[in-house]
Each structure stands twice: as structure tokens, then as C-alpha cells.
Amino acid sequence: MDDNGPVLHLRLIVPAARVDEATAVLESCPGVTNIVVLPGAGRAPRGDVVLCDAARESVNEVLDRLKWLKDEGSIAAEQVDLSLSKAAEEAVEEAPGEPDDAVIWEQLSHRVYAESRITWAYLAFLAIATQIAGIGVLQNSPILIVGAMVLGPEFGAVAAMCFGLLRRKGHLVVTAFRTLVVGFTVAIAITFACALVSAWLGWIDTSNLHENPEVHFIVVPDRWSFIVALLAGVAGVLSITAGKSSALVGVFISVTTVPAAGYVAVALALSEWAEVAPSVAQLAVNVLGMIISGTLTLWVQRRFWPQVGRRSSV
């Protein structure tokens, strides 16, 4: 399923004194059409309302050339699910490149900043996913392991680190890294407590770890773990920038970050110290691989794909 269509609808509030300048920019940008000016319609902030449709490939240029509106007015963009307009079709054809390849850098920036922060929802999802992974480890259930992978929300913070490294925004990298560390620490602590109680009740013991060959891959980090993480990082970034949510699910299933965290918690609860270090290594290998390949993917999109940042200073 695609989250991004070929056309976006833009709503601008422009100071009356600069509306001609703004409309001139829109008219000169390839891929922009259906331009409408509503004089004096803006109230907060005050100004003229300018509406238009823009091909995805053109949005970067529009936002770059009208970035002064961030301080003097406003710019809002929303996805157009259906556009029955020959003018819009011609605008998409006129714009450089293909819509699926276009990255709207401001949109990506807002998304990764939002996902780099620690929220209750993020902690809850990660804790639940880690507990499901822990149960999957104890029950030798690959199905539960896969379910935990899909549920884990950690890739948002990974993507934020990639974007921060690309844009050299140290504070974003630090914030996203802290979100990963705090998130996994809390998730492991909660899962550890639950596993410890289960061990005290006699529900689980060390045999639940040693007799589960089907999930033992979680504690065997090797070259293939790193290669898969690299591939998953590329696919994850592409799924976010191209709006392919279905592909992102495949990324979650490919890497063993959450299962490794669940294994760490269970191993700690059962005092299986020899299993802890390999699980932590597996977690680190997966995260590192995704960060490296994700950052390189964004760099390639920014540097070599003309439609992904054409004449944009982002």
C-alpha cells in the first residue's frame, strides 16, 4: 500500500504585500497547477490564502523558494487521494523524475523529529513487543518472534539517527540514540521483571532456553546478521521516503532487535549469563547495520537522484 500519491495540495497564507511574489514562484515551478488566490481570506495569520496542487517532485523546490513564509505566513501540505484534472496530470508529467522516487525533505524532517522523541506510546509498544519476544523465546515459537518484530517501533528512532547524520544535526542524533537506549532499557527491565516472577512461580527454567533451537539464532550474531541489517536499513529508509508502508513491515521482520532484547531479559532472569552478551551483540549489530546503510541510502537519494532534491538547499 502506498501512503504517498503523485500530487500534494498546498495551502499558503501570504502577506498581501508579497502575494505576487509567491504566486510568481508557483507559476515558475514545473509541476505546480490549479493555483487559486483568495485575497484577505487569512485571519491568523492575516494575509491572502493561496491554494495550489503540486507534483511530489516539485514540492522541494516550492518549499525551498518560499521558506520565508515560515516566519511571515504559513505553508501546509496534504496528500491528494483523488485528483480528476488534466492540468494536474500534465503537471505530474512536467515535473522531473517519478513521484515514487521523490523525497519531500521537509516532510521527512518533521517525521523523524517526531519519532526521535521518547513517548509513552513508544515505550508501551516496545515493552509489549519485547515481552512477546521473550515469551516466544521461552515457548520456542517463531510465530511470536515474528509478531514481536512487527510490533516493535524502534525503526523510527533509527531513521532519525540516519537523517541526523546526513544533515549533521548532532542534537537529533543524540536524541534518537537516547530514545533507542532508554526504550530498550525500559523494555528489557519490564520483561526481566515479568520473567523473574515467572521463574519464581516455577513456570519457566533454564531448559526453556537451552531446548529451543528454532530461536537460538537470536544469540548467534554473525556476518549474515550484519548483511541483513544493512539490507533492512536500505529497505526501511526507502519505505519511509517513498511511502511504502507494506515494505516497512518486511523490514521489521528482517531484523532481530526486539527478539534480541527479549532474549537478554529472559537470560538475565534465569541467570544465564553466557547468553546475555551474544544477545546484546545481536541487538547492537542490527542497529549499527541499519544506521550505516540507512544513512548511505539517504545520501544517495540526496546526491544522485535529480528529482529528490533538485535545486533544493535542504
Q: What share of the chain is helix, strand, coil (3-state, %, to 5)?
A: 65, 10, 20
Asked if 94 and 181 sit in the same domain, the reply is no
Residue 142, pLDDT score: 83
Asked if 75 and 219 sit in the same domain, the reply is no
Asked if residue 60 is part of any domain, the answer here is yes
Domain extent, residue 116, equals 108-308
Asked if residue 313 is part of any domain, the answer here is no
Asked if 97 and 121 sit in the same domain, the reply is no
Q: Which helix (H) or strand (E) holds 49?
A: strand 46-55
CB of 214 within 8 A of CB of 140?
A: yes
Asked if 96 and 200 sit in the same domain, the reply is no
Asked if 69 and 189 sit in the same domain, the reply is no
Of 102, 128, 156, which residue is a domain's last?
Answer: 102
Residue 3, pLDDT score: 60
Residue 1, pLDDT score: 47
Question: What are the backbone angles phi and psi of residue 247, rounded to the nearest 5°?
Answer: -70, -30
Q: Considering Cα of 117, then 118, then 123, then 126, what sign does the dihedral take? A: positive
Residue 284 vs residues 184, 222, 253, 280, 289: alpha-carbon distances, Å: 11, 12, 17, 6, 8
Asked if 197 and 288 sit in the same domain, the reply is yes
Q: Which residues of the chain have pLDDT under 50?
A: 1, 307-314
pTM of the entire predicted model: 0.83
Of 80, 102, 124, which residue is a domain's last?
Answer: 102
Asked if residue 2 is part of any domain, the answer here is no
Residue 150, pLDDT score: 86
Asked if 112 and 66 sit in the same domain, the reply is no
Does residue 147 come out as left (phi exceeding 0), alpha (psi in the -120 to 50 range) or beta? alpha
CB of 137 within 8 A of CB of 212?
A: yes
Cα separation of 26 and 241, whole Å?
Answer: 24
DSSP code of residue 95: S
Q: How many domains does the chain have?
A: 2
Asked if residue 314 is part of any domain, the answer here is no
Cα separation of 140 and 204, whole Å?
Answer: 12
Residue 15, pLDDT score: 95
